[in-house]
Structure 1
């Protein structure tokens, strides 16, 4: 059976910055667009925020990760609400990273975002703080992605 684990699945709430983060990692122009459906790219799978926010879609989120070798749970540090269930990340049987986005914003609460990612099951050592607009933290995140994805992409 062929391995199809060469992509990174991005999951997170609506407006958490998944698409913008993917654009930054792909060195594309940053432009906002609401992800309406699952989008497959060469290296990424971009998912709608509804997959996390609405329990009805939880099975679809699990199915999407079947095509991924790594899942990244994205949390915006300016979002005061949590809709991610405890230990959600353990549902996916693949490595996981947590990313705190929008760290360039003045109303950012990184500690709260880190706690929510840990609550969701992310190992604290695998949480990265980034700004897709300024580029802060992107190099470290890219290195972590490469670390986890190299075995899949070098096949």
Structure 2
């Protein structure tokens, strides 16, 4: 079995863009599919949005993320309602960054999304704005992921 500490966990609401973001970062074909269960890939752990939206499942989010080396909290900039509990990110004992998706959308509200991530406990300097469709912001996000994950994936870099 693979060591999950070498993977990045993606957590966020339903339709926040977690799977599409994973597809973009993995250079996969972009196709929509509802994530029904936790999906393990070489570099990522993709979680269902219910882990954030339904308090009953928050323990599963915690269990999954504790096995990862980095947590990415994903928020769509077109989502007007926050479901992330206050300071939720401090539950985890791993580095965490926030990603605002869908920045190419006409109804995008980045300020509101930044507030949602700050409410969850993400520091403003650790928030990245991306469009998985156009690729905007992906390069900066990839650099951030490598910053946290390269020492974990290759212990000789420590």
TM-score by length of 1: 0.97
Q: Could you tell me how far apart the structure 1 residues matched to 2:3 and 2:102 are?
A: 34
Q: How many residues align?
A: 154
TM-score normalised by L of structure 2: 0.95
Q: Secondary structure at the match of 2:107?
A: coil
Which residue of structure 2 lines up, in the alignment, with residue 101 of structure 1?
A: 101
In structure 1, what is the equivalent of residue 92 of structure 2?
92
1:10 aligned counterpart, secondary structure: strand
Question: Is 1:58 paired with 2:58?
Answer: yes
Report what 1:41 is aligned to.
41
Q: Show structure 1 runs of 4+ deviating over 4 A.
A: none
* Partner residue, 1:119: 119
Residue 9 of structure 1 pairs with residue 14 of structure 2: no
For residues 16-67 of structure 1, what are the alpha-carbon distances to aligned partners after superposition, in whole Å with 9 as ceiling and x for unaligned? 0000000000011110000000000000000000000000001111100122
Deviations 1:88-136, CA, capped at 9 Å, x for gaps: 0001110000000000000000000011101100011000000000000
Residue 131 of structure 2: aligned partner: 131
| Structure 2: gaps (5+ residues) | none
- Return the alpha-carbon distance in structure 1 between the equivalents of residues 46 and 54 of structure 2: 17
CA positional deviation for 1:4: 3.7
- Give, in angstroms, the shift of residue 3 of structure 1: 5.5
SS at match of 2:31: coil
Counterpart secondary structure, 2:94 = coil
Q: Secondary structure at the match of 1:30?
A: coil
